[in-house]
């Protein structure tokens, strides 16, 4: 999955959602990369997208189509 500017989303990225909410990418399902706390065995069933641990609603699953409605921006990379 990619940010709107074409940059690849990676596990460990700190992001800004809709210009006001913070989040941490904890799983890149498309790239088959998962953080230790969010393993493939638990979240791989989603098949596409990314999981972001947000300060607005906890863990949220986003797919590429989600980026048409919510702007997700890279703040910093781990």
Chain segment 7-33, per-residue pLDDT in tens: 999 999 999 999 999 999 999 999 999
What pLDDT does 62 receive? Answer: 93
Range of the domain at 59: 14-76
Checking if the pLDDT of 57 tops 90, the result is no
Domain assignment present for residue 19? The answer is yes
pTM of the full structure: 0.92
Domain assignment present for residue 7? The answer is no
Checking if the pLDDT of 60 tops 90, the result is yes
Domain assignment present for residue 3? The answer is no
Instruction: Name all contacts of 60-64 with Cβ < 8 Å and 24+ positions apart.
Output: 60/23, 62/1, 63/1, 64/1, 64/2
What is the sign, positive or negative, of the torsion defined by CA atoms of 21, 25, 29, 30? positive
Checking if the pLDDT of 70 tops 80, the result is yes
Summary mean pLDDT of the chain: 93
Report the domain count for the chain: 1
Domain assignment present for residue 8? The answer is no
Domain assignment present for residue 6? The answer is no
Domain assignment present for residue 5? The answer is no
């Amino acid at each position: 999955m990619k940010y709107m500017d074409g940059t690849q989303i990676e596990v460990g990225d700190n992001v800004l959602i809709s210009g006001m909410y913070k989040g941490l990418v904890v799983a890149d399902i498309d790239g088959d990369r998962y953080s230790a706390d969010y393993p493939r065995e638990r979240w791989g069933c989603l098949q596409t997208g990314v999981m972001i641990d947000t300060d607005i609603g906890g863990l949220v699953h986003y797919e590429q189509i989600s980026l048409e409605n919510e702007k997700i921006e890279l703040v910093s990379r781990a």
